[in-house]
Amino acid sequence: MHHPVRLGAVDYLNARPLVYGLELKSDLFSVRFDVPSKCAALLHEGSIDIGMIPSIEYLRGREAYRIVPGCGIISSGPVASVALFTTKPVEQIHSIAADTSSRTSTGLLRVLCYESFGIDPAVVPMPPRIDDMLVECEAALLIGDPALFLDHAARGLFKVDLGAAWATLTGLPFVWAFWAGRPGALTDSAVEALIHTRDAGVAASDEIAEAYCGPERAALGRAYLRENIRYALGEREQAGLKRYYELAEKHGVVEEIRAPEFY
């Protein structure tokens, strides 16, 4: 009896092109949507076969995962949807409320605090509610839709884009997330289906943004999927991932690193 592969996807706009039309392939996949940290937890505990996991979580699995080749959620410069929001200049920040939905972004934040911003703030995990976060701390790290759609200027906040800060620091793209799972969890045809899905989703990004965002935010969503997010995990992207892992280990975000391995 053939069972569909249990896929855990991320419930943000930026992930939608990677799952475009997958609901029509129910013979191959069953899909559920969660925040990134939950996707990782489900994969680690074995409740899903393949997860769209934060890139840092690849190093935290109990066994060596494999990555679906060529597919990821990547930025090359400003990402728009992962940012610090603050009323102060970054170098004056002593405390940051960090969105509990995130793993990779919190790790990147720690790297950037040491390598770029020259600060060592207290980082307090909190749900992504900006008003509560800024009562508790001097800055808030938001990811995904809450960061993308927040009108920071109307609230008098600075927005420090972590994708832009990474590009300034390293000159490399940043890999936020990718499909990963245990060796043997995917057949060759399932791997091909996920790559084909990516291509179809990228081609349909305007439609995806309009359907997801609604009329008022459609223009913002279209521009974001076109200009900020990339989906091809090539050699430069892998170099960026490797650099992130090295800096994450250097600053104690992870205990040990290993090279990415692919299906």
| pLDDT one digit per residue (tens) for the chain, 263 residues | 578 999 999 989 999 999 999 988 889 999 999 988 899 999 999 999 999 999 999 998 878 999 999 999 999 999 999 999 999 999 999 999 999 988 899 999 999 999 999 999 999 999 999 999 999 999 999 999 999 999 999 999 999 999 999 999 999 999 999 999 999 999 999 999 999 999 999 999 999 999 999 999 999 999 999 999 999 999 999 999 999 999 999 999 999 999 999 99
Tokens of 151: 């009108």
Please indicate, yes or no, whether residues 31 and 159 belong to a single structural domain of this protein. Answer: no
Please indicate, yes or no, whether residues 181 and 227 belong to a single structural domain of this protein. Answer: yes
Domain's final residue, options 123, 151, 170: 170
Please indicate, yes or no, whether residues 87 and 165 belong to a single structural domain of this protein. Answer: yes
- d(CA 78, CA 228) in angstroms, rounded, equals 6
Please indicate, yes or no, whether residues 68 and 177 belong to a single structural domain of this protein. Answer: yes
Does 10 fall in a domain?
Answer: yes
Domain residues for 102?
A: 82-170
Cβ contact 112:123 at 8 Å:
no
Please indicate, yes or no, whether residues 146 and 179 belong to a single structural domain of this protein. Answer: no
Domain count, the chain: 2
Does 205 fall in a domain?
Answer: yes
Matching residue, tokens 């405390």: 95
Please indicate, yes or no, whether residues 240 and 202 belong to a single structural domain of this protein. Answer: yes
- d(CA 61, CA 39) in angstroms, rounded, equals 12
Please indicate, yes or no, whether residues 55 and 102 belong to a single structural domain of this protein. Answer: no
Does 51 fall in a domain?
Answer: yes
Cβ contact 22:6 at 8 Å:
no
Does 50 fall in a domain?
Answer: yes
Please indicate, yes or no, whether residues 59 and 181 belong to a single structural domain of this protein. Answer: yes
Please indicate, yes or no, whether residues 134 and 162 belong to a single structural domain of this protein. Answer: yes
